[in-house]
């Protein structure tokens, strides 16, 4: 049955602009439609929050945060957001329409992919996430459902609905929002997520692409969570024999249970992926996965949902696994619709059961009907001005029992943030409703943290209602090593509460790196110590013109700047490489010179005083003998 025909929005013009043509997908928070922007005459995707959630301020703020966050990411692998608005109970985002399918659709149809195809999908995903991470955001819900593959082959990341600023703490009283199969251990155990949580989820996605299945599975979400916390990821090659060891290592690196061991963000993981690809042969990249494809079914592990968090031991006496009180399974009537399930509630059956219960209790349908007539529902008030909200309440026969005010980053100043009772709740017809009106975003000044250590600066920002953002380091003659040089934006600048503030930390006064090439390791170490630097001798040696055992090269090089206490990497010489000298006697001088130089030698031409012709008569090292690479070979022309 085509459920699109039953959708009340299909065929409607939303907000006087967007004509909704068809339903694409239904998820737990919103429905996605294909629509036409009648002003610009272009096809786009319209993501409309479920009306039942539109009365929940937290959900609406998260929904609007997605629009603001993604609108800042101008990247070819991120689904663009064009507009955000609301009409009545419908809150929506207007987004780029990608004709194609999701990675979940591909995995469901094909199972495991060839390594080349898996990396071809992973790398643009990491490029998109890398742009988000470097802009200060974490996706927090990476999974195949949120990877779109266009008919033209383009890969795009969608659904930044759970996006958060880097450095903010997502810590609730025992629950978190996400998709069980892709949650990093720290998300489950501590309720926190930074860029490394996205790295972990990408490791899960890569494992799925390489094997056709998830690394951690179970009959319940609790079993999956237990494995995330207590078991290392199995090597993909155990499920698909023959996969290259480099792919096992890439998955293990991304899915390390300790976040400090993982690449710090998607940019770093992208670099690891490219190194792994370079190490694979063409045969390894094009290795065919097993023909058998395991049936992929939508489960509770695949849905974004509220999940009870595992509390630390000091917050409960029970063992971790005993705290996993998972939400009950969804009711029947689920309709598949692309990137998520749609829960259809059998309302008529529910009403019949309720009436039957009342009859059994002796109240009778007549009494039930009379009592229900004394109640009404609070109308939709979110986003309305105070005056408009009071008018709606009056029209519904309700009074205003008070007006409060609160800050909001997403609800416009002077409009309703929430009400008590909330919109949609049942209320007696002669009762009153309290309104909470937005003051707009809370604005705070960036405190003066210059000269403080990084931990102290972080505490000062926190107490001011701000978060630490990206940390960079630079040399400073005035500021001691490890202290804050400046903030970005500058001290005193006004920003929304919760904003991430970048910090520049001093590396101390710069030190000019001395030239230690050609010295023994001992002498080079002493020279560096005199300059306030340390020597780090690398294990691998190289052939060079420098004598064996002496320093062949250094990094940083002579004249570059380093911070006091920094290490200079020293590469020790193995001595010159001995190579065979070509025989060039009897050849033209120019030809002989070219031949010797191509072999790796310096060339000197000796012409006798009474020489004649340009033919080589002799050479200082005979052809066939060996000489040090880079050494000088003298060739002599004929003479009297």
Q: What is the edge-to-edge ordering of all strands in the sheet holding 416-420?
A: 399-406, 432-438, 416-420
Q: How is residue 146 annotated by DSSP?
A: G
Question: Which helix (H) or strand (E) segment is 536 a member of?
Answer: strand 534-537
- Distance between CA atoms of residues 31 and 200, nearest Å: 27
Question: Which helix (H) or strand (E) segment is 530 a member of?
Answer: helix 521-530
Dihedral, 493, 496, 498, 499 alpha carbons, nearest 10: -50
3-state secondary structure of 542: strand
Contact 570, 546 (CB under 8 A): no
Contact 138, 194 (CB under 8 A): yes
Task: Give the residue among 549, 543, 493 at the shortest CA–CA distance from 519.
Answer: 549
Contact 122, 199 (CB under 8 A): no
Neighbour count for residue 275 (Cβ, 10 Å) = 11
- Distance between CA atoms of residues 173 and 309, nearest Å: 8
For tokens 């249970």, what's the residue? 257
Q: What is the CA radius of gyration of the chain?
A: 34
- Distance between CA atoms of residues 265 and 593, nearest Å: 52
3-state secondary structure of 463: helix
422's CB contacts (< 8 A; 6+ apart) are 55, 56, 378
Neighbour count for residue 215 (Cβ, 10 Å) = 23
- Distance between CA atoms of residues 143 and 153, nearest Å: 18
Task: Give the residue among 586, 564, 577 at the shortest CA–CA distance from 628.
Answer: 577
Contact 403, 434 (CB under 8 A): yes
Among 56, 89, 105, 141, the active-site one is 141
The CA-based angle 164-168-170, given to 5 degrees, is 75
- 2 a catalytic residue: no
Contact 28, 53 (CB under 8 A): no
CA distances from 430 to 118, 372, 450, 525, 533 (A): 62, 13, 58, 87, 79
- Distance between CA atoms of residues 469 and 489, nearest Å: 11
For tokens 């701000």, what's the residue? 466
Q: Environment class of residue 151 by beta-carbon count within 10 Å: exposed (0-12), middle (13-18) or buried (19+)?
A: exposed
For tokens 């696994």, what's the residue? 321
Q: How is residue 28 annotated by DSSP?
A: S
- Distance between CA atoms of residues 253 and 200, nearest Å: 9
CA distances from 255 to 107, 204, 252, 271, 280 (A): 20, 7, 5, 16, 21
Contact 547, 531 (CB under 8 A): no
Tell me how far apart the terminal alpha carbons of the chain are, to the nearest angstrom: 105
- Distance between CA atoms of residues 533 and 508, nearest Å: 13
Q: Which residues are catalytic?
A: 141
């Amino acid at each position: 049955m085509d459920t699109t025909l039953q959708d009340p929005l299909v065929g409607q013009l939303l907000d006087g602009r967007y004509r909704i043509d068809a339903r694409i997908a239904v998820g737990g928070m919103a429905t996605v439609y294909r629509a036409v922007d009648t002003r610009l005459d272009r096809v786009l995707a319209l993501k409309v929050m479920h009306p039942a959630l539109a009365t929940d301020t937290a959900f609406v703020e998260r929904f609007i945060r997605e629009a603001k966050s993604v609108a800042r990411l101008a990247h070819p692998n991120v689904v663009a957001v064009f507009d955000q608005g609301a009409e009545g109970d419908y809150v929506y985002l207007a987004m780029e329409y990608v004709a194609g399918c999701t990675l979940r659709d591909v995995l469901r149809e094909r199972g495991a992919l060839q390594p080349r195809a898996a990396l071809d999908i992973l790398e643009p995903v990491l490029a998109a996430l890398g742009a988000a991470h470097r802009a200060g955001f974490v996706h927090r819900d990476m999974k195949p459902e949120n990877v779109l593959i266009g008919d033209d082959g383009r890969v795009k990341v969608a659904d930044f609905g759970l996006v958060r600023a880097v450095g903010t703490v997502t810590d609730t009283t025992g629950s978190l929002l996400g998709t069980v199969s892709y949650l990093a251990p720290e998300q489950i155990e501590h309720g926190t997520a930074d860029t490394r949580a996205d790295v972990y989820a990408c490791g899960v996605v890569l494992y799925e692409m390489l094997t056709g299945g998830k690394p951690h599975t179970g009959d319940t979400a609790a079993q999956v969570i237990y494995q995330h916390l207590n078991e290392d990821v199995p090597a993909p090659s155990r499920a698909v024999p023959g996969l290259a060891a480099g792919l096992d290592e890439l998955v293990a690196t991304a899915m390390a249970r300790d976040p400090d061991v993982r690449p710090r963000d998607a940019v770093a993981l992208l670099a690891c992926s490219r190194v792994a690809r370079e190490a694979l042969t063409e045969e390894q990249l094009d290795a065919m996965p097993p023909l058998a494809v395991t049936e992929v079914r939508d489960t509770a592990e695949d849905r974004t949902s509220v999940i009870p968090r595992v509390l630390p031991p000091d917050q409960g006496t029970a063992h971790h696994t005993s705290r996993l009180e998972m939400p009950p399974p969804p009711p029947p009537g689920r309709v598949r619709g692309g990137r998520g399930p749609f829960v259809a509630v059998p309302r008529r059956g529910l009403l019949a059961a309720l009436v039957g219960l009342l009859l059994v209790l002796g109240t009778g349908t007549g009494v039930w009907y009379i009592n229900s007539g004394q109640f009404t529902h609070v109308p939709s008030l979110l986003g309305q001005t105070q005056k408009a909200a009071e008018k709606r309440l009056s029209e519904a026969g309700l009074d205003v029992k008070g007006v409060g005010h609160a800050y909001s980053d997403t609800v416009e100043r002077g409009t309703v943030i929430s009400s008590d009772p909330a919109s949609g709740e049942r209320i007696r017809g002669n009762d009153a409703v309290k309104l909470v009106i937005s003051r707009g975003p809370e604005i705070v000044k960036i405190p003066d943290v210059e000269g403080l250590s990084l931990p102290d600066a972080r505490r000062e920002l926190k107490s001011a209602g701000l978060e630490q953002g990206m940390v960079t380091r630079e040399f400073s003659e005035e500021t001691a090593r490890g202290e804050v040089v400046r903030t970005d934006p500058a001290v005193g600048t006004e920003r929304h509460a919760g904003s991430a503030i970048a910090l520049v930390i001093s590396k101390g006064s710069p030190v000019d790196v001395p030239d230690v090439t050609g010295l023994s390791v001992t002498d080079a170490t002493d020279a560096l110590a005199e300059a306030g630097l340390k020597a780090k001798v690398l294990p691998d040696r190289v052939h060079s013109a420098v004598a064996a055992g002496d320093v062949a090269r250094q990094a940083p090089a002579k004249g570059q700047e380093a911070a006091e206490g920094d290490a200079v990497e020293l590469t020790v010489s193995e001595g010159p490489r001995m190579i065979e000298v070509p025989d060039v006697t009897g050849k033209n001088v120019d030809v002989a010179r070219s031949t010797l130089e191509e072999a790796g030698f310096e060339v000197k031409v000796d012409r006798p005083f009474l020489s004649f012709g340009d033919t080589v008569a002799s050479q200082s090292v005979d052809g066939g003998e060996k000489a040090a690479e880079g050494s000088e070979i003298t060739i002599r022309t004929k003479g009297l």
